[in-house]
Amino acid sequence: MDSVLPCLIGVAGVAAFILLMLVLSGIKVLYQYERGVMFTLGKYTGTRSPGLTIVIPILQSMRRVDMRVKTADIPRQEVITKDNIPLLTNAVVYFRVINPADAIIKIEDYVFAVRQYTQAALRDVIGNAELDAVLTERVMIAQSIKEIVDSETSGWGVDLEAIKIQEIELPAEMKRSMAKQAEAERERRAVIIASKGELSASQNLMKAADYLSRYPGALHLRTLQTIRDIAADPSEKIVVVLPSTMESLPNAVARAAGAALGKEPAREQTDATTPALVTPPPTEPAVEREPGRRCPQCNVEIRPNATYCPKCGGALAD
């Protein structure tokens, strides 16, 4: 009897230790960003809130679910647009769990599923859009992808926060073509701006000419101002341009001289249709040439003072 009692005490101590360990293992702590999905004998029995919770060992189990926003990177992939242009694109998706029970019960790995479904939706949306729309309407394309993925993942207890297209890489040939197109567009705008400037300048010059024609003194002032601007640089040549009124100065001087002498000066010819009498230049009298000598043998004209013929070489008599 004395030998059995120590054995019973030892067995009771071991059992108490095991029971204590089981009780301690059933005490769980959930953080504020976590939820616990409880299963009793394999059946869903509820969702535990943050804090201290008790799980009955062997009979119950708990799956922790993180409620924070997660980030899933969509790897770079080649997509062909609607106008048959291949391009490389990648994106990033932000999502979070709104129903822990559905995220655990209805899908095995919701993170992997969201990533794969977003990748497929990205291919579908970009494949149905043209290149110009992909490059200029990224926000609209990302919103379309979000709507497609969100409609499916809402049944998994997952809410899609946002989808961002990070990079779109074009082929090198397409980049060169787009650069040429942009350069041509810039040149077209430059030509249009220059033509508008010339049109505006011509209109202002027309108005300035109209104002200057009304006041003759304004043209003189403008001429003097131009001379002053040219004279600012000593290396420039000064060209003096006489106004159109200076053309009648000789006629005015002639009329004044005729009035002083008591003679009537010749009137200026004002009729442009009457032709002016032009005095022909004097002709010089024709000079008679001295007749030359001829060779008696070959009948070639030779100089008067020649002693022999330059053609036949015969001597000539005086």
Q: Supply the DSSP string of 10-48, one letter for each residue.
A: HHHHHHHHHHHHHHHHTEEEE-TTEEEEEEETTEEEEEE
Q: Do residues 55 and 75 share a domain?
A: no
Residue 258 counted as domain residue: no
Rounded CA separation 232/238 (Å): 10
Q: 182 lies in a domain? A: yes
pLDDT class of 7 with cuts at 50, 70, 90: confident
Residue 296 resides in a domain:
no
Label residue 36 by pLDDT band (50, 70, 90). Answer: very high
Residues 92 and 127 in one domain: yes
Q: Are residues 82 and 112 in the same domain?
A: yes
State the burial class of residue 180 (Cβ atoms within 10 Å of its Cβ: 0-12, 13-18, 19+).
exposed
Q: For the chain, what is the domain count?
A: 3
- Report the C-alpha gap between 132 and 143 in whole angstroms: 17
Domain hosting 96: range is 70-170
Residues 95 and 111: their CA atoms lie apart, in Å, by: 9
Rounded Cα gap, residues 121 and 141, in angstroms = 10
Dihedral, CA atoms, 231, 232, 236, 238, nearest 10 degrees? -10
Contact criterion met (CB below 8 Å) for 216 and 246: no
- Based on the fold, state whether residues 92 and 141 are members of the same structural domain: yes
**Boundary of a domain, candidates 20, 42, 66:** 66
Q: Is residue 194 part of a domain?
A: yes
Are residues 194 and 141 part of one domain?
Answer: no
Whether residue 50 is found in the same domain as residue 141 = no
pLDDT digits (tens, 9 = 90+) for 228-242: 777 776 665 656 655
| CA angle at 211 for the pair 205 and 214, rounded to the nearest 5° | 140
**Greater pLDDT, 4 or 195:** 195
Residue 121 lies in a domain: yes
Provide, for the chain, the percentages of residues in helix, strand and coil under a 3-state DSSP scheme, each rounded to the nearest 5.
45, 20, 30
Q: Are residues 105 and 193 in the same domain?
A: no
Give the pTM: 0.55
268 in a domain, yes or no? no
